[in-house]
């Protein structure tokens, strides 16, 4: 009697899983890098406020500088966006619009004001611009052989 295990003849499962994981990390990281770069280049250095509906203007560069991306192993995903704004809702308010509190100096005194800011999206349009290119990052990404 001949006993054959066909399953073991086709491929080395641990190697295939490792190759797929490696390709997935690389493709997701590449997509995150593309989205990050698109968001950073959409924010131009200009004086004054950007018109509502357009990406915000950069006055001193911190928003552009702090847009980062990272691969999250626990969820097999990439997170892209501004980081490092301690206790500030500025990036979120710029992206989606809303109310925030600003502090101004008026006649030598600090005055806090609640203001409404129209949305000036920069991350959503960056994702929309790069989304058609993301499947290409997966094309032929799993390679291997003997």
- pTM, two decimals, is 0.79
Coil vs helix vs strand at 75: coil
CA dihedral sign, ordered 31, 66, 44, 115:
positive
**Taking each helix axis from N to C terminus, what angle separates 123-130 and 13-42, rounded to the nearest 10 degrees?**
130
Quick one: pLDDT at residue 90?
84
pLDDT class of 138 with cuts at 50, 70, 90: confident
pLDDT class of 110 with cuts at 50, 70, 90: very high
């Amino acid at each position: 009697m001949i006993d054959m295990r066909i399953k073991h003849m086709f491929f080395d499962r641990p190697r295939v899983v490792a190759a797929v994981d490696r390709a997935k990390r690389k493709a997701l990281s590449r997509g995150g890098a593309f989205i990050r770069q698109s968001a950073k280049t959409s924010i131009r250095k200009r004086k004054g406020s950007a018109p509502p509906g357009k990406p915000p203007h950069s006055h001193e560069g911190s928003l552009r500088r702090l847009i980062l991306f990272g691969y999250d192993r626990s969820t097999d995903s990439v997170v892209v966006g501004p980081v490092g704004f301690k206790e500030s809702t500025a990036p979120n308010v710029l992206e989606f619009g809303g109310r925030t509190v600003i502090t101004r100096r008026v006649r030598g005194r600090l005055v806090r004001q609640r203001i409404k800011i129209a949305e000036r999206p920069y991350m959503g349009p960056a994702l929309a611009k790069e989304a058609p290119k993301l499947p290409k990052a997966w094309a032929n990404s799993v390679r291997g052989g003997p």
